[in-house]
Amino acid sequence: MKKHNSKATDFSPIFMQKKYFFRNFFLFIIPTLVPILLLGIFTIILSNNFNKDSFKKNNTALLKQMETNIDLIMNELDALNMSFNYNIDISLQIKNLLESSSSTYEEYRISQLIKNFVSSPANAKPFVHCIYVYYNNKKGRFISSTNGVNSLNLFADTAWFETFSRNDIDTDLYSEIRYISHYEYQAQIPVLTIYKRIYSPGVYNANGVIVLNIYLNYLEKMLQDHITFKNQSLFVIDENDRFLFGNKQSSSLGEEVLTAINKTNDPYFLYRSETDRYNVFKLRSEKYGWTYVSVVPESSFNQLPTQLRILTVLLLALSLILAIVPAYYLTRRNQSNINRIISIIDSAEKQRPLPPLPDVVKDEYSYIIHNIMNTFMERSYLKLQLSERKYKLQAAELLSLQSQINPHFLHNTLETIYWEILRVSGKPTVAHKMIENLSDIMKYSLSSKDNFVTIGEEIENTKSYIDIQKYRYEDKFDVYWDYSPLVNDYKVKKLIFQPLVENSIYHGIIRKDTCCYIKIKIVKSASHLRIFVADNGAGIPPHRLNEIKQKLESNDDLSEHIGLFNTNKRLKLVYGEEYGIRIRSLPDKGTVVFLYIPILI
C-alpha cells in the first residue's frame, strides 16, 4: 500500500508540472544566455580599444575646430589692422580728424564715413560688442563703432586706454577679460578685449591701437556647443599662460590642473588628482600664441564601456525573464492539454457535449485529441444526416403545398374578367385599360426567374403602373422620362423603378393641392448607371428625412417595408454594400431619390 502511494506521488500533476517547467526552462535559457554573455565580453573589449583611438581623434579634431572658429573671429581684427597699416589715406584722415579742433561740414562727413567703416564689422558680426580705434593725439580722442569720435575724459569706458598705455606690455597682440559699459547707468557686460597695435605706413614704432571687444557669453556658448563628452571642459589660455575664457564646466577646474597644463608641452597627457583622473588635450596656435585645451574626466571617457557592461547585465536578466515566461507557458499548455484529453474522455463517457476540435494538428496532444474526437464526431455525423434528411423532407412538403396555388391563376382570371366586360359593354372602357395594365404588371412580376430584366422592360412595366395611378388620382401629376434608347438593353434588378415612383406619389404628390410632376432620368457613365426619380411634391421634413437616411444606412432587417427600404436592401444584396438608394428633399419643394449601379449586359 505504501509502495503504491509512492508511485502515485511521483506521477502527480504537481510533480509533472515542475518537471516540465525545469526542462523547458533550460531548453530556452542555454541558447540565449551563452551568446549574450560572449557577445557582451567581446563588445566590451573591442569598445575599449576603439574608444581610446576614437577619443583621441575626436578631441584633436575638436581643438582644431576651436582654433578655426577663433581665427575667424580674429580675422575681423586683422582686416581692420591691414586697412590702417597699409592704407595711408585712411590713417591720415583718422589722425587729422582726432587732432582737428574745428567742426566743418567736411570734417563731419569724414567722421561719419570713418565711423561707418569701423562699425560695419561690429554691426555685421553678432559676436562683436564694439570696436575702438586710437591714434596718439594731444586731444585724447578716439573713434568708437557705436557713436563715432569720442573724448577719453568724457567716455565711461577708459580702462582699455590704461592697458594700452602700460609700459610692461611689449607685444603687438594682447587680450584680457573686462566688464564695460558706455554709459554710467548701463549694466556692465563681460567682454574679451583684444588689443592690436597700429603701425602707420613708414613708421617702425606703434602709434595707435585697435581694440576689439567680443561678447564673452558668445565665446562661452560657442565652446559649450562643441562639447562631446559629459563634464568636458573646453577653455583657452592666452599667450602668457593665463586662463582666458571657457565653457561653464571649466570653472570647476582647480588651479593644480591649470598648473599641470602649463608645465608640459605634450599635446596629450593624463592628470591624476585626489578626486578624479583627467585626459588633457592641448593645441597651441602659432598665429596668436593662444592654447586651446580640452579636459575630459576619466569617468566620462569610460562612459561607453560602463554602459555596455550595464547593458550586458540587463540583457542577461532579460534573457532569464524571457526563458521563464515561455517555459511557464509551455508547462501550462501541456498541463492544459492533458486536462483536456481527460475532459473529452469523461464527457464521452457521460454523454455530455464535446469541446471544439482543434483546427490543425500542431503537436502530439492535438493529434491525440483529433483521433479521440473523430470517433465521436463520426457518430454525431450520422445523427446530423438524419436531421438533414428530415429538414429536406419538410422543405419538399412546403414546396409541394406552395405549388398547388398556381401564381398564373390570378393573371388568367384578370384576362377572363377583361373579355367578359368587353363582351357586355361592347367596347373598350377605362376599366379595360386598368385591367390590362394590372394584368401586364402581374405578368411582369411573375416572369424572369433570375429577377433581372432589361431597362426597356422595366420602363414598360413602370408605365403600366403609372397609368393606373394617373387614373386613380385623376391626372394629378405628369411623368417625364429622360434617357437614351441605348440603355434599353442593359440589365437591372426587376422592380426598382416602381417603388421609387410609388414613393413620390404617396409621400409627395397626393399631399399637395396643385398639379405636380415626376421626372425619371437615366444617365450612363463609363461603367455605371445613375437613375434619378424627382418630384415637386410636398417634400420631407428634416427630422423625418434624417430618420429615413439612418434606416437606409443601417443593416437592420426591413423586409416588411415594400417601398424604399426594401428596394435599398435588395440593391445592396445584389450589387454590394457600396450601392443603394440616396435621398434628398426640401419641404414644399420636392424630393429626389437616386441610385448608382453597375452596368450589366
Three-state SS for 204-267 is CCCCEEEEEEEEHHHHHHHHHHHCCCCCCEEEEECCCCCEEEECHHHHHCCHHHHHHHHHCCCC
What are the beta bridge partners of residue 531? 522, 595
At 370 the pLDDT is 66
> Is the sign of the CA dihedral 161, 165, 171, 176 positive or negative?
negative
Residue 101 has pLDDT above 60, yes or no: yes
DSSP letter at 271? E
Task: Name, of 53-57, 161-165, 204-208, the range with top average pLDDT.
Answer: 161-165
Q: How confident is the model at residue 493 (pLDDT cuts 50, 70, 90)?
A: confident
Residue 498 has pLDDT above 60, yes or no: yes
CB neighbour list of residue 503: distance below 8 Å, 6 or more residues apart: 533, 563, 564, 591, 593
- 11 falls in which pLDDT band (50, 70, 90)? very low
Mean pLDDT of 22-44: 66
Report the sign of the C-alpha dihedral through residues 212, 218, 221, 222, in that order: negative
Mean pLDDT of 499-526: 90
User: Can you tell me the distance from the alpha carbon of 460 to that of 574, in angstroms, rounded to the nearest whole number?
Assistant: 22
Amino acid (1-letter code) at residue 292: Y
Which three three-digit cell numbers place residue 474? 385623376
Phi, psi of 81, deg, nearest 5: -65, -40
227-301: what CATH class? alpha beta
Across 507-529, average pLDDT:
90
d(C-alpha 497, C-alpha 486), whole Å: 18
Residue type, 460: E
Per-chain mean pLDDT for the chain:
77
Residue type, 281: F
Average confidence (pLDDT) over 351-363: 62
Q: Which of 65, 81, 96 is nearest to 212 (CA)?
A: 81
Q: Which residue has the higher pLDDT, 503 or 264?
A: 503
The mean-pLDDT minimum among 152-161, 251-260, 291-300, 577-586 falls in 251-260
Whether 227-301 and 87-218 are alike in CATH topology: the answer is yes
Q: Is the pLDDT of residue 560 over 50?
A: no
Q: What is the pLDDT of residue 360?
A: 62
Percent of the chain with pLDDT over 90: 16
Report, as an integer, the average pLDDT of 210-224.
91
Rg of the chain over Cα atoms, rounded to whole angstroms, equals 51
Contacts of residue 268, defined as CB under 8 A and 6 or more positions apart, other chains included, come to 56, 59, 279, 280, 281, 282
Q: Is CATH 3.30.565.10 the classification given to domain 480-598?
A: yes
* Residue spans per domain, the chain: 87-218, 227-301, 356-401, 480-598
Given strand 148-151, what is the order of strands in its sheet?
A: 148-151, 141-144, 128-135, 208-215, 189-198, 173-180
Q: Which residue has the higher pLDDT, 23 or 404?
A: 23
Over range 70-86, report the average pLDDT.
80
CATH number for domain 87-218, candidates 2.60.40.290, 2.40.50.100, 3.30.450.40, 3.30.450.20: 3.30.450.20
Query: Between 408-425 and 430-446, two packed helices, what is the crossing angle to 10 degrees?
Result: 160
Q: How confident is the model at residue 582 (pLDDT cuts 50, 70, 90)?
A: very high
What local confidence, expressed as pLDDT, does residue 484 receive? 92
Contact between residue 131 and residue 116 where contact means Cβ atoms under 8 Å apart = no
Q: 314 pLDDT band (50/70/90 cuts)? A: confident
Tell me the pLDDT band of 399, cut-offs 50, 70 and 90.
very low
pLDDT above 70 covers a percentage of the chain that reads 67
Q: Are 552 and 577 in contact (CB under 8 A)?
A: no
Indicate whether this model's pTM tops 0.75: no
Please give the pLDDT value at position 423: 62
- At 3, is the pLDDT very low, low, confident or very high (cuts 50, 70, 90)? very low
| Torsion sign (Cα): 441, 447, 449, 450 | negative
Average pLDDT over residues 531-556: 88
Q: Which three cell numbers stand for residue 55?
A: 577619443
Position 471 pLDDT exceeds 90: no
pLDDT at residue 109, rounded to an integer = 79
Helix (H, G, I), strand (E, B) or coil at 177: strand
In one letter, which amino acid is 259?
T
pLDDT of 361: 60
C-alpha cell at 483: 434617357
- Helices 564-575 & 497-504, crossing angle to 10 degrees? 150
Summarised one tens digit per residue, pLDDT across range 418-438 is 666 666 666 666 666 677 777
3-state class of 359 per DSSP? Answer: coil
The amino acid at residue 18 is: K
